[in-house]
Amino acid sequence: MVLRVQYWHDGILRMLDQRLLPYQESWLDLQTWQDVREAIKDMAVRGAPAIGISAAYGMALAAGAGESLDVAAAELASSRPTAVNLFWALDRIKSLPEKSFHTILAEAHRIEQEDIACNEKIGENGAALFPENARVLTICNTGSLATGGHGTALGIIRTAHAQGKVKHVYSCETRPRLQGLRLTAYELLHDGIPFESIVDSAAASLMHARKVDCVVTGADRITANGETANKIGTYMLAVCARHHGIPFYVAAPWTTFDPSLASGDLIEIEERDGREITHFDEKQIAPEGCPTLNPAFDVTPGDLIDAIISDRGVHRPPYLFTSQS
Ligand code: MRU
Q: How many domains does the chain have?
A: 2
Tell me: do 134 and 278 sit in the same domain: yes
Domain range spanning residue 173? 125-315
CA dist 238 → 35, 135, 233, 306 (Å): 36, 16, 9, 10
Name which of 27, 21, 23 is nearest 6 in CA terms.
27
Q: Nearest 5°: phi and psi at 203?
A: -60, -45
Give the Å distances, CA to CA, from 145 to 16, 155, 211, 240, 284.
9, 11, 27, 27, 28
Short-list 187, 44, 186, 60, CA closest to 111: 60
Q: Does the pLDDT at position 1 exceed 70?
A: no
The predicted-structure confidence for 134-150, as pLDDT tens digits, reads as follows: 999 999 999 999 999 99
For residue 325, pLDDT beyond 80: no
Q: Contact, 250 vs 302, CB < 8 A?
A: no
CA 48 – ligand 1 centroid, Å: 5
Neighbours of 99 (CB within 10 A): 15
CATH number at residue 64: 1.20.120.420
Region 119-123: what's the mean pLDDT? 98
Q: Is residue 77, in this structure, part of any structural domain at all?
A: yes
220 catalytic per annotation: yes
Q: What is the CATH number of the domain that holds 175?
A: 3.40.50.10470
- Whether 148 and 296 share a structural domain: yes
**C-alpha distances in Å from residue 240, one per residue of 193, 196, 243, 244:** 25, 19, 5, 6
Residues 182 and 131 in one domain: yes
pLDDT number for residue 32: 98
Mean pLDDT of the chain: 97
pLDDT at residue 324 tops 80: no
pLDDT tens for residues 162-209? Answer: 999 999 999 999 999 999 999 999 999 999 999 999 999 999 999 999
Pair (99, 173) in one structural domain: no
- 109 pLDDT band, cuts 50/70/90, is very high
Contact 8, 57 (CB under 8 A): yes
pLDDT band at 28, cuts 50/70/90? very high
List b or e across 167-179, with b for residues whose CB sees 16 or more CB atoms inside 10 angstroms.
ebbbbbbbbbbbb
Ligand 1 pocket check for 220: Cβ under 6 Å: yes
Are residues 75 and 57 located together in one domain of the fold?
A: yes
Rounded Cα–Cα distance for residues 186 and 103 (Å): 35
pLDDT in tens, 214-223: 999 999 999 9
CB atoms within 10 A of CB 92: 18
Is 108 found in the same domain as 143? no
- Residue 3: the pLDDT is 80
CA of 107 from ligand 1 middle (Å) equals 23
The verdict on the CB of residue 231 being under 6 Å from ligand 1 is: yes
Per DSSP, the three-state class of 134 is strand
Q: 100 with 150, same domain?
A: no
Helices (H), the chain: 33-41, 48-64, 69-77, 84-94, 101-127, 153-162, 179, 185-191, 203-208, 234-243, 275-278
Q: Identify whether residues 11 and 58 lie together within a single domain.
A: yes
| Mean pLDDT confidence for 70-84 | 98
pLDDT of residue 2: 64
Distance 102 CA to ligand 1 centre (A): 30
Both 145 and 286 in a single domain?
yes
**Which one of the listed residues 220, 258, 298, 306 is annotated catalytic?**
220
pLDDT of 225 reads: 98
* Ligand 1 probe mutation, 118, 120, 142, most atoms within 8 A of CB: 142
Provide the pLDDT for residue 207: 98
Same domain, yes or no, for 224 and 275? yes
Establish whether residue 296 lines the binding site of ligand 1, counting it when its CB lies within 6 angstroms of any ligand atom. yes
185/141 same-domain check? yes
Looking at residue 281, its pLDDT comes to 87
Question: 289 CB contacts (<8 Å, ≥6 apart)?
Answer: none
